[in-house]
Amino acid sequence: MIIAVDGPTASGKGTIAKALAAHFGLPHLDTGLLYRAVGRQVQLEGGDPDDPQAALAACDFADSLLDEDILRAEEVGGFASRVSVHPDVRHALYQRQRAFALQEGGAVLDGRDIGTVIAPEAEVKLYVTASVAERARRRWLEMTGRGIDVALAEIEHDIAARDARDMGRADAPLKAAEDALVLDTTHLSRDAAIEAAIKAVLARAG
């Protein structure tokens, strides 16, 4: 069984995807980490994430980069959003994601184009979302909890800008697949969102 979990940043899709993988005993891939690694590689090389050639060259990153905590940094997330608009970057990372999705026994993948591009044949497709204000609040709590001094308004502005880039790009824009179940987590606790997702998978998978 392939479970595709899509949605914008800080919507809760990663948490839900990990919980689904654990519940159903499936391997999990956070595809956003691949784009964050590309963005981080561009940053390390002093390149411009808006430059298609620099972004494509950064796709040849070392696998060890995927284990670095810096990939979770807000700045790296911004770089990831910027490199992801380049079609050549998306093509370069497509096969890695596709192979993971088609492994024997199935898998859970979360990202922004899993149900629409990477695994359109997925038996279960979820689109996890929440309001910009709520997603900004969550990210602010996460960052300040790690001792990072940042303004809530700054995070909200960044999330809105990232949404615009992800939804407005010409290649594989962020959107819900036609047959996806939309799960709005704005007013749901973590546990309630996970419970709703598990019920949705059971209902869709029969």
pLDDT at 55: 97
Q: Which two tokens stand for residue 162?
A: 């990232």
Q: What is the DSSP letter of 28?
A: E
Q: What is the DSSP letter of 180?
A: P
The pLDDT assigned to 72 comes to: 86
Query: Which residues on adjacent β-strands are paired with residue 108?
Result: 3, 28
Q: Is the pTM here over 0.75, yes or no?
A: yes
Kind and range of the H or E run holding 108: strand 107-111
Q: What domains sit in the chain, N to C, each tagged with a CATH number?
A: 2-205 (3.40.50.300)
pLDDT for the residue numbered 135: 97
Where the chain has pLDDT below 50, the residues are: none
Number of neighbours of residue 171 by Cβ within 10 angstroms: 14
